[in-house]
């Protein structure tokens, strides 16, 4: 059995042949053993000693960036962590809410020794200083003048309160003794011409009577007005304490009615619990509870157009119909306000005296001929 192997392959596979020693059978033995080894036995070089890519040089040459990336990925754990951090970090600018998130986040021990006990940032989000001295300079620029003005107001209040000849302004008395509530509804899909009729219908009526009127009304927006009346009534009871009178309120109304004229606009009934007054439009009403709520004022407010729709006409003409929206405002007061107003009107009539259609003065500059 003969082995035919090219001498070039034997020379490349035998490292000992690189010397200048003569070629012998002992020197060729390692190369022959490498050729006869089993496939499972690892060898230092493959059988085909010729590089596989020598015929395609520089075909798939890696770039420097890719080579460095491969080197970093093949490095240790710290190198891989730094690479992942650089790849996942933000490259855009900071978020608009980054300051708020940073302020709301809890402080750690690394940020400060005291953790959450660190003092707050002395500046707000807009860069305004929140220091006490700076805020005092902005809110109280002249403290001496403020102290003088406060001292003057206290002295005036004490003087007017202790002076028997001083008189409290009527507006202050009304604001101190009477209650009211103003309620504004959201904009409703209707026009002012339609809603103003309902506003006029509930003016001057008690809340219960106005609710009955809106309940049985045929108008579409009557139910919306009824809902707004209920909201205003509940808010007045909870927030202002209106409509919660009792025997004390009835006794006060009786005393006020007896102080007025018997034949005027305020009359006290025989039972002593009901007061009869005449309203501004001439109607007589009976009041048994001075804290009963009534609709003192009601008006409508025009809003912006909520839309428009085309109205196709003859001969190719087109009109645009605008869709309006309107809100209603309601002012609720107690019956003690109407009692006071009726008493004020009666007192004004008594002060004015009888009405005379012509002035009572002598006639002068008379002559027997005409002056024109």
The DSSP result for 157-209, as a single string, is HHHHHH-TT----HHHHHHHH--EEEEEPPPBSS-HHHHHHHHHHHTTSBHHH
In the three-class reduction of DSSP (H, G, I as helix; E, B as strand; rest coil), residue 23 is classed as coil
Per-residue pLDDT at 315: 96
Q: Contact at 8 Å (CB) between 252 and 178?
A: no
Q: Is the pLDDT of residue 250 over 90?
A: no
Whether 185 has a pLDDT exceeding 50, the answer reads yes
Does residue 299 register a pLDDT over 70?
A: yes
Higher pLDDT, residue 184 or 69: 184
- 245 Cβ contact list (under 8 Å, min separation 6): 289, 290, 291, 292, 334
Better pLDDT: 320 or 108: 320
253-281: burial string, b at 16+ Cβ within 10 Å, e else: bbebbeebeeebbbbbeeeeebbebbeee
**Confidence band of 80 (pLDDT split at 50, 70, 90):** confident
Supply the pLDDT for residue 19: 47
Torsion of the alpha carbons at 89, 95, 97 and 99, rounded to the nearest 10: 70
43 has a pLDDT exceeding 60: no
Contact status, residue 190 vs residue 327, Cβ threshold 8 Å: no
pLDDT band for position 190 (cuts 50, 70, 90) = very high
Beta bridge partners of 287: 275
Report which listed range, 4-8, 23-27, 133-137, is most confident.
Answer: 133-137
pLDDT-derived band of residue 17, with 50, 70 and 90 as boundaries?
very low
Helix count (H) and strand count (E) of the chain?
13, 8
Token pair recorded at residue 128? 């305004």
pTM > 0.75: yes or no: no
Mean pLDDT computed over 172-190: 95
| Average pLDDT of the residues of the chain | 78
**Percent of the chain whose pLDDT exceeds 90:** 41
Q: Which pLDDT value is given to residue 301? A: 97
Q: What are the tokens at 86?
A: 């650089």
pLDDT confidence bin for 311, thresholds 50/70/90: very high
CA dist., res. 190 & res. 34, Å (int): 102
Pairing of strands 293-302, 326-334: antiparallel
d(Cα 276, Cα 293) in Å, to the nearest integer?
A: 16
């Amino acid at each position: 059995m003969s082995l035919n192997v090219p001498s070039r392959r034997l020379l490349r596979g035998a490292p000992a042949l690189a010397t200048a020693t003569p070629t012998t059978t002992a020197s060729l033995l390692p190369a022959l053993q490498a050729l006869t080894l089993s496939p499972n036995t690892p060898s230092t070089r493959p059988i085909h000693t010729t590089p596989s890519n020598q015929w395609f040089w520089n075909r798939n040459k890696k770039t420097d960036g890719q080579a460095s990336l491969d080197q970093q990925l093949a490095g240790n754990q710290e190198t891989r962590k730094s690479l992942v951090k650089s790849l996942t970090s933000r490259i855009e600018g900071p978020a608009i809410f980054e300051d708020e998130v940073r302020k709301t986040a809890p402080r750690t021990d690394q940020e400060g020794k005291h953790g959450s006990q660190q003092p707050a940032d002395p500046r707000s989000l807009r860069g305004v200083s929140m220091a006490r001295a700076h805020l005092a300079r902005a809110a109280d620029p002249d403290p001496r003048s403020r102290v003088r003005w406060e001292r003057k107001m206290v002295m005036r209040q004490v003087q007017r309160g202790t002076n028997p000849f001083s008189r409290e302004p009527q507006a202050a008395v009304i604001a101190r003794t009477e209650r009211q509530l103003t309620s504004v509804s959201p904009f409703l899909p209707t026009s002012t011409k339609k809603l103003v009729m309902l506003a006029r219908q509930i003016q001057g009526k008690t809340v219960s009577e106005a609710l009955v009127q809106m309940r049985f009304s045929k108008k579409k927006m009557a139910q919306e007005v009824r809902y707004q009346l209920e909201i205003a009534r509940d808010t007045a009871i909870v927030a202002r304490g209106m409509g919660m009178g009792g025997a004390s309120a009835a006794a006060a109304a009786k005393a006020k009615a007896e102080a007025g004229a018997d034949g005027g606009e305020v009359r006290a009934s025989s039972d002593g619990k009901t007061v009869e007054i005449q309203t501004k439009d001439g109607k007589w009403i009976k009041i048994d509870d001075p804290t009963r709520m009534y609709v003192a004022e009601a008006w409508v407010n025009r809003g912006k157009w909520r839309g428009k729709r085309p109205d196709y006409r003859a001969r190719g003409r087109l009109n645009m119909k605008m869709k309006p929206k309107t809100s209603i405002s309601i002012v609720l007061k107690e019956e003690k306000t109407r009692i006071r107003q009726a008493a004020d009107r009666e007192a004004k009539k008594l002060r004015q005296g009888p009405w005379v259609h012509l002035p009572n003065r002598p006639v002068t500059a008379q002559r027997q001929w005409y002056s024109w």
